[in-house]
Structure 1
Amino acid sequence: MAMDMAEHKTLGYALRGLQLIFAIIVMGTDGYAIHVFHGRTVYEHFEFGNFYDYYGVPDAWGFLMFCAAWTVLIVIFHFIVGISFADHALIGYVRVAVEAVAVLSWLAGFIAVAVQISTHTCSSGKNSCGSLKAATVFGAFEWLLFMVTAASTVMLVFSSSRKPSVSTTPTTKSGAAV
């Protein structure tokens, strides 16, 4: 049993390490795509007037960068929590909530960027497309890693045998408190 727990802890650290590495890769590739993206100014003509509109970096690219930064914070959180707060029930529920937010964020992030790859924002002639595709692929792998760690965290938190606290109030034979 003790060897089994040590193997699971080693596997957990390996998965968290992969999450950290993939987050750094996504930060680098997405950051490069954001850096080399050139916005454009478009002259808009409407019935009520004309104006110049500037199209900058798409919001989905920034959201993918947020997901990567959030992942770094999550890995640090799980490392600290795993060392010092292993037996607290509230921390277990916080871990499940953090994992759920991460899973949903990565799912939304890589899909939003993948949708924009085929649009005019990322055409084949632009330099940012290759790195954006790499960021999307690593974002999808990051989502899969978080699915695995979220499932293991949920199983760990909800299957752990926490003993309910016992009341110290003396009771009578009828069950009423004295």
Structure 2
Amino acid sequence: MAENKSLDYIVRGLQVLFATIIMGTDGYAIHVFRGHNDYVDAPVYGGDATLHVGVPAAWSFLMFCAVWTVLIVVFHFVEPGFTSRPMIGYVGITAEAVAVLSWLAGFIAVAVNVSTTSACSSGQNSCAALKASTAFGAFEWLLFMVTGIRTVMSFFNNQKRFRSS
């Protein structure tokens, strides 16, 4: 994204800021939820059963997406030193594609999980933090759509420049 460095810095800065907010809100929601035991009557198994309900996997996946975002942003700030190697461009495109798909899957999974009654049961104070994480995750996905398109366009423009010289 060498065409407009100031826009690149602003968008990448927003990506890191939103990832930090998501790490905080999602981490808080995970901490507050803590898991609990459900006692169920299971006549098939010969009596009562105890099931441990842990933190939903979607919440942890959203945390992974936030950490992955920080790594991608660091990579894209180091990447300009290696512009003479086309393989670095492919790595950048792949990282952006993984980020776009991860954020899409992550915020949708948490949004679906928040809408269920088990994730936001009475006595759990994690719903507001999860809703904030979901909203920031959606904005993060939009930011990665912008940077992903710009990265692909920049890569192909550089490929044309390499071929013509």
Give your verdict on TM over 0.5.
yes
Residue 116 of structure 1 and its aligned partner are, at CA, apart by 1.1
Q: Which protein has the larger Cα radius of gyration, Structure 1 or Structure 2? A: 1
**Deviation at residue 142 of structure 1 after TM alignment:** 0.2
Matched with 1:175 is none
Match of 1:66 in 2: 64
- The one-letter code of the counterpart of 2:5 is K
Question: Percent of counterpart pairs with the same letter?
Answer: 61
> Residue 56 of structure 1 corresponds to which residue in structure 2?
54
- The answer for unaligned runs of 5 or more in structure 1 is 167-178
Give how far 1:59 is off: 0.3
Give the Cα separation in 2 of the matches to 1:12 and 1:163.
23
3-state SS, counterpart of residue 127 of structure 1? coil
Matches for 1:15-164 after TM superposition, within 5 Å: 15-44=11-40, 45-49=42-46, 50-82=48-80, 84-120=81-117, 121-123=119-121, 126-160=124-158, 161-164=160-163
- Pairwise CA distance, 1:41: 1.0
Residue pair 1:117, 1:123 contacting (<8 A) in 2 also: no
Quick one: structure 1 residues 152 and 46, their matched pair in 2 at CA, closer, same or farther if it must change by over 3 Å? farther
In 2, are the aligned partners of 1:30 and 1:65 still within 8 Å (CA)?
Answer: yes
TM-score (normalised: structure 1): 0.84
CA RMSD of aligned residues (A): 1.9
Length-normalised TM-score, structure 2: 0.90
Q: 1:37 to 1:89 in 2, by over 3 A?
A: same
Q: How many residues align?
A: 160
- Following superposition, which runs of at least 4 residues in structure 1 exceed 4 angstroms of deviation? none
Q: Give the 3-state SS of the residue equivalent to 2:83 in structure 1.
A: coil
Write 1 or 2 for the structure with the bigger share of helix. Answer: 2
Instruction: Give the structure, 1 or 2, with the largest relative contact order (CA under 8 Å, sep 6 or more).
Output: 2
Distance 1:53 1:124, change over 3 A: closer
Cα deviation for residue 89 of structure 1 reads: 0.6
Q: Deviations over 1:143-165 (max 9, x none)?
A: 00000000000000012224349
Write the letter of the residue equivalent to 2:140: E
